[in-house]
Structure 1
């Protein structure tokens, strides 16, 4: 039984179920369709996964799953009713996706996107103190102005269970991770400055700006932008395909 048909290609129900056993999760049909689309796109652009590329991906998969010995890898496959070729078939779209990304998204496009969206990649290292009432937040703000330690107050008073044990520390945040009012204040502040209170869905926030980092087109930012641009290009290609999820079609 065919589960998905796409521009003359098909994915069988057996392949769908086998993918689930190998990946450890039963994938959504969309995930399988995406893999098939990647293979089709690679074929159209004459992009191929060479043996060395597949071997590296296979080695990474074995490390990820603790399959360091050949015997344990064989046993793992047998438990799932699969063979090595089945696993390689599942991993091939990952390799092709990476190769396509390198082919399609050139550095000029990355640099242009960064220049147009530079502010989105500014980062702020923050600690927060969250309370339910505005009056309490204001009182704590006065205590901070009198010299109280922000992190000590956060451990004692903050209602945020996730950050309270760390003295309110929440790590590096981008503008888009903060609401516009808070983001404007944070990225206009100085290091060590305390801001707020800001009203949020959680209550009232006091925010300590530990440090600010101006956006740079470093390795991580380049990777993030390349991924974003590739996703946009892939979605455009996917919409051009005739995809039929026949797994949902009733026989009769």
Structure 2
């Protein structure tokens, strides 16, 4: 396709391939597209090194599954779909096969042992705390609430309903939810994930307010199927990024 080829028109005015490329460059996505094409080639070369290829039966099974997912029940619907995206049947199949090759290489490279090691070494990333907060306008109010809960004059829920100025959580006793690392302000985050269960921490200065928190419990996400896939994808992305960087020109 030549640079001057029209991909569409607006009131007879052509939009060319060159116009599209210029637009991608201006939007900052042109280099990303080039990187993704290089990445695809690297995946192909690495699979060749492993002596692995896709069979026609595997591709046909994926084609059937994808068409079913997209409700492309008949040939007319499929043709309309291809026309909408400006693809030929061969280009669509090539893109689908590229996804399959990427998945196959990921499964070859990222072993069960790598996933388990990553999970153990990064356990803090998969930990969440069940936490509540009392937000006060002054430090004095925060310290009074802290003293009251420490002296067992009232429980945290009652104090939140009395002292907290956060209308979003006050009526629920200050409860925020289960939060992962990095979702709280840095100082609070560090203390919350280091303290014991049912511990009160604070006061902290936050955005013009003074806050105290109660950490009810800590939960470590189990290495289930969803988390395993998430970790595999992360490890593979890092590995593939390095392979792209060192790939010969």
- Taking structure 2 as the reference length, the TM-score comes to 0.64
Q: What is residue 157 of structure 1 aligned with on the other side?
A: 165
User: Could you tell me which residue of structure 1 aligns to residue 90 of structure 2?
Assistant: 85
Note the C-alpha offset of 1:202: 7.6
CA 1:182/1:69 → structure 2, altered by over 3 Å: closer, same or farther? same
SS of corresponding position for 1:69: coil
- Alpha-carbon distance between aligned partners in 2 of 1:187 and 1:164, rounded to the nearest angstrom: 23
- Aligned with residue 181 of structure 1, among 181, 184, 187: 187
Residue in structure 1 matched with residue 230 of structure 2 by the alignment: 224
**Structure 2 matches for 1:163-174, cutoff 5 A?**
170-174=176-180
Greater C-alpha radius of gyration: 2
Q: Is the 8 A contact 1:122 1:174 kept in 2?
A: yes
Q: Give the Cα–Cα distance (whole angstroms) in 2 for the partners of residues 167 and 109 of structure 1.
A: 42
Q: Residue 238 of structure 1 corresponds to which residue in structure 2?
A: 244
SS in structure 2 at match of 1:34: helix
Query: Number of residue pairs matched?
Result: 223
Matched, 1:69 2:66: no
- Structure 1 position 196, deviation (Å): 2.7
Cα pair distance change 1:79/1:118, threshold 3 Å: closer
* Structure 1 match to 2:125: 120
TM-score, normalised to structure 1, is 0.63
Does structure 2 conserve the Cα–Cα contact (< 8 Å) formed by 1:125 and 1:212? yes
Gaps in structure 1 of 5+ consecutive residues: 4-12, 18-25, 244-252
Q: Is the 8 A contact 2:42 2:244 kept in 1?
A: no
Distance apart, 1:233 and its partner CA? 0.9
Change in 2 beyond 3 A, CA 1:189/1:33: same
Relative to structure 1, the CA distance from residue 79 to residue 224 in structure 2 (aligned partners, 3 Å threshold; closer, same or farther) is closer
Contact 1:58 1:91 in 2 (8 A): no
CA positional deviation for 1:134: 3.8
Q: Look up the match of 2:13.
A: none
Whole-angstrom CA distance in 2 between matches of 1:78 and 1:165: 54
3-state DSSP class of the match of 1:126?
A: strand
The corresponding residue for 1:9 is none
Matches of 1:185 and 1:86 in 2, distance apart?
A: 53
Relative contact order higher in (CA < 8 Å, ≥ 6 apart) = 1
RMSD of Structure 2 on Structure 1 (CA): 4.3
2:218 is paired with a residue of what secondary structure?
strand
